[in-house]
Chain A
Amino acid sequence: MAHLLQRVAQSRDAQAFAELFENFAPRIKAYMIRQGADPTTAEELAQETLLMVWRKAGLYSDTKGSATTWIFTIARNLRIDRLRREVPWQTFPEGQEEQASDDIAPDEAVSERERRERVHAVLATLPEDQHEVVLLSYIEGLSHSEIADRLDLPLGTVKSRMRLAYQKLRESVEDLR
């Protein structure tokens, strides 16, 4: 995916953009629906996310993370802005200090893919109670207090389950270096 984003950034490649659209728009729409949007709004937000990808592609730097992570953060911020109508104070990992490199080094691409596989593998082995709170936080967009209400748990229990999940996931998602 990173190479498609690079092509969009460097040569405003419409074909590469169409491929990004096909790959990401359906998942962004699904994400927005899980976050509480109706299907029409979800589709508009998917479209808007991809238009933002087109406009901001020049800010994308592969040194700061995978294309999927970058697009996820754009969708996340758009969701805070439009669905929750709050100010998203989260910044994009757009690598202001680092220049976008011309090409993604082949070994870097491999390790990025390996990393993704590791994250998925660890996610699959999380105990059900930890997996549940992580999913409610990231995909349903619930705050810790809302998760506590939903599951009828003390706030402290929700927070400790999140922490335990991160302790297991941490090694697989830390910066590669």
Chain B
Amino acid sequence: MTNKIEHHPDDSTLMSYAAGSLSEPLCAVVAAHLELCKACVHEVHAMERIGAALFEDLQGSPINSGTQEACCKAIGQPESNAKIPDEPQDHSVLTRILGSKLADIHWKRLGFGIWHHPIKLSPNCNGDLRLIKVAPGQVMPEHGHGGSELTLILSGSYSDEFGKYNAGDLSDLGDDVEHRPVSDSLEGCVCLIASERKARFKDIVSRIVQPLTGL
């Protein structure tokens, strides 16, 4: 990452991530940003200490005597039995989220100058996570966000009322903010977008596609 990252998740978003209460799609986008942003990694570690302090304050629940015995017995077993299902660390976080390398994504065309690739979430999970690719110079209609929505720029850039967003930047706009992004005139942009609610994305697409299909 050659550019300096200038747009970060809101503190409240990072706290929710550290608390483990951010929903899966939003969590994935924050994790992909953290992979690129040391400053936010430090914030998250600090925020995890808040969780640890609150956890420490909890009044413990008594454990059945047999449980500790069983647990201490289990650690006595040969280590080879204890298969550690560790996540493969040789892949980047982004690759694990996408399930393949970004370069290998099969894009589906959504309309003129816009492609997408939906990413599978856990079955019981609400929300939406997908890659979006926008052609150079595309203007998206002014829109607001009903609920939490995060956009991570993976390549190219876009600009809106709040500045220019380059690769690694994350846009974390509140639900009361309206903006009108324009993709970079040479490169366009590729983004990972998460929204808390399933229906949200359709609105975004219709907003983008509407003016182009003349509806």
Contacts and interface: CB of A to CB of B under 8 A. Distances in A.
A21 B71 contact: yes
A17 B75 contact: yes
A153 interface: no
Contacts of B57: 120, 123
Contact of B68 (A18, A34, A80, A138): A18
Given A27-B56, A87-B24, A156-B176, A33 B61 contact: yes
Interface residues of B, number: 63
Interface in A64-120: 64-66, 68-69, 72-73, 75-77, 79-80, 84-91, 93, 115-116, 119-120
A65 B60 CA distance: 22
A123 B54 CA distance: 8
| Residue from B30, B71, B76, B174 with most neighbouring chain A CB atoms (10 Å) | B71
Nearest to B71: A47
Interface string A22-38: 10011101110110000
Interface stretch (B44-52, B131-139, B154-162): B44-52
Nearest to B49: A173
A22 B68 contact: yes
Nearest to B74: A51
A98 B202 CA distance: 45
A162 B15 contact: yes
A170 interface: yes
B53 interface: yes
Interface in A115-132: 115-116, 119-120, 123
A85 B13 CA distance: 21
Interface of A: 14, 17-18, 21-22, 25-27, 29-31, 33-34, 39, 42-43, 46-47, 50-51, 54-56, 64-66, 68-69, 72-73, 75-77, 79-80, 84-91, 93, 115-116, 119-120, 123, 134-135, 137-139, 141-145, 155-156, 158-160, 162-163, 166-167, 169-170, 173-175
17 contacts: A21-B72, A25-B60, A27-B58, A47-B70, A69-B52, A72-B51, A90-B27, A91-B34, A134-B15, A137-B16, A138-B51, A141-B19, A141-B20, A145-B147, A163-B10, A166-B47, A170-B46
The 4 closest A-B CB pairs, nearest first, are A26-B60, A89-B31, A162-B12, A76-B20
